[in-house]
Amino acid sequence: MAVEETDTQVIITNPSDPNSSVTILKYGATVISWIYKGEEKLWLSDDAKLDGSKPVRGGIPLVFPVFGKCKDASHDTEPLPQHGFARNSTWQFLGQVTESPCAVQFGLGPEDVDQELYKKWGKGRHDFTLVLTVTLADDTFTTQIEVENTGASTFEFNWLFHTYYRVEDVTDSLVTNLMDSTCYDQLLATTYQEKAPMLSFHEEFDRIYKKVEEEKHIQIVDKGKVLVTLERENLPDAVVWNPWIEKSKGMADFAPKLGYMNMLCIEPGHVADFITLTRGEKWIASQKITPFGEIRVQTDIYSV
Ligand SMILES: O=P(O)(O)OC[C@H]1O[C@@H](O)[C@H](O)[C@@H](O)[C@@H]1O
């Protein structure tokens, strides 16, 4: 069977390759595993809580309606906790939508969110439907989100696929095609133009790359081999994050303690500013991940 549902999760197996699968936890509609040809591609902490007691440390947590903690006291999302409420709500499994490639959907509405938490967003007046579509094709894995404003009040939101990739050694990993983008370094609280043709990782890293052109495919490269080619639709910003030693030590659900060496987050989103949806409007965005590729150098000046 290509799609198997248990009380807590949904597993998709590629009918043409039993060694390729995706596991999605209903809690947060969090993808917790993507195995391609027998190899796990996502990082999941050994101490990640999968029982709904806190957002999952690893996989692909979903960030909505706010990225980080909103610092603007007058904004609707300001009372919400870091990264909003989608990652810590149990989504409804809507079923399989296509057979080949195999795709499943999950839905979230205000009724699925802890009411105390939900009311922190615009005093509970925003009505919305989120539909997540997870598609496992032979050589690609796609997560797509549709946000619909089903209420009378206009709302503003951020979206982010907080994707944790598994890497062998992060100090050997390079990230391409962010050169020339405007970057906000969250650790230094400064904005500058990225000049490095490839990013490398030797200390804590927490940056938001803004308005990265859709034609640019962000890649993770390890010793000349492309581990990930990431295509984005409607997701102009990309957060690149590694907590390194001290920060990961401070996270109770982060294990093993040297796990920061084996993970790298590349998080496509719309976070540098808010998306506005008026009554009845829909917004759709997706990330498509290919676990290989040719190295492509795409700068603002030339593309190979
Ligand atoms: O611990 P959390 O809430 O899952 O957040 C993890 C990280 O998520 C990243 O997206 C942020 O840029 C970091 O600043 C943050 O530390």
pLDDT at 299: 80
Ligand 1 atom having least distance to the Cα of 206: 12
Tens-level pLDDT at each residue, the chain (304 residues):
699 999 999 999 999 999 999 999 999 999 999 999 999 999 999 999 999 999 999 999 999 999 999 999 999 999 999 999 999 999 999 999 999 999 999 999 999 999 999 999 999 999 999 999 999 999 999 999 999 999 999 999 999 999 999 999 999 999 999 999 999 999 999 999 999 999 999 999 999 999 999 999 999 999 999 999 999 999 999 999 999 999 999 999 999 999 999 999 999 999 999 999 999 999 999 999 999 999 998 987 555 5
In the annotation, is 213 catalytic? no
Cα 84 to Cα 53: distance, rounded to the nearest angstrom: 15
Distance 141 CA to ligand 1 centre (A): 23
**Nearest atom of ligand 1 to the alpha carbon of 67:** 10
Is the link from the previous residue into 101 a cis peptide, with omega within 30 of 0? yes
Rg (CA), the chain: 18
**Annotation marks residue 162 as catalytic:** yes
CA–CA gap between residue 56 and residue 48 (Å, rounded): 6
Is the bond preceding residue 65 a cis peptide, omega within 30 degrees? yes
Residue of 83, 126, 231, 267 marked catalytic:
267
Q: What separation in Å is there between the alpha carbon of 83 and the centre of ligand 1?
A: 8
The answer, as to whether pTM is greater than 0.90, is yes
Architecture of domain 3-173+230-286 in CATH?
Distorted Sandwich (2.70)
How many angstroms separate the alpha carbon of residue 288 from the centre of ligand 1?
A: 22
Residues with CB under 6 Å of ligand 1 are 55, 82-83, 162, 186, 206, 239, 241, 267
57 annotated to a ligand binding site: yes
- Tell me the ipTM for this assembly: 0.98
Q: Domain residue spans in the chain?
A: 3-173+230-286
Name the residue at shortest CA distance from atom 3 of ligand 1: 82
